[in-house]
Amino acid sequence: MNFVIALGSFLLGYFAEKLADGVLNIFLRIVRKWRLKRQVRSHTETKYKDIMLIASGVPFFSPNNISITYNPEENIFLAVPEDLRTQLPECVGNFCKQDQGIDRVSFPGRSKEEVKRVMEIARRNVAEKFIQREDGLYFNEVKYGVSYLDGFSRTSDTSEDPILMLKVYQTDHFTHRVLSETVRGLKVEPENISLQELNGPQSWMRTSFGKSGYMSRLQRHLQKRTMIRIHTVLICYSALKGG
């Protein structure tokens, strides 16, 4: 009888310990993931305050769930002032000779005359910097701007994978820098621009598209292996940021 009681006590203690270890491991995994998410949120909200996160694919955007549409009717190109065009150095890239799509450049609460005046000042300033090879302006090249982006939707199946819908237009580095100076000249505050506006009438501010990423290592103790998870972060460098 004492043997049965002792055996029962041993088994009860053994399974209780295993149950406690299992609960502890689950709790620790939850805490690690929570700390990781908090670190990522802190990284994007404090270190890069001037960057608006527009899409985040966790763990990644599958090629099957990415839709990219190019609409040439939304292209924006600014020409170099005619009196400065002949002063551009050789091998500085190609510049358009006629403006295209600048009727989209407007801002709520500012008159068309004010926006145009500030933009023309910026146009000459940037053109002169290209001529003098100043401020990193050595070569003009084509860029892709973003007219619409949705990176927060999910598939309707049980996996709920992230979906990326992207609509782009073409511009160039000269136009990008001119519009950057125009926005600064108008003293536009970035926090007053919403993602909905950037996906609509203010899409001319998103004149340069970039992709970055970071890697995080999550140790999975139960399987005794290391899992590498790649998080893709899409960022649009707008005229609000410049550069």
Amino acid at 227: M
The residue with greater pLDDT, 207 or 174, is 174
The whole-number average pLDDT for the span 181-210 is 84
The whole-number average pLDDT for the span 149-168 is 86
Q: What is the pLDDT of residue 40?
A: 58
The residue with greater pLDDT, 42 or 169, is 169
The whole-number average pLDDT for the span 30-34 is 77
The whole-number average pLDDT for the span 104-109 is 88
Whole-structure pTM value: 0.68
Q: What is the pLDDT of residue 223?
A: 37
Report residue 7's pLDDT band, with 50, 70 and 90 as the boundaries.
low
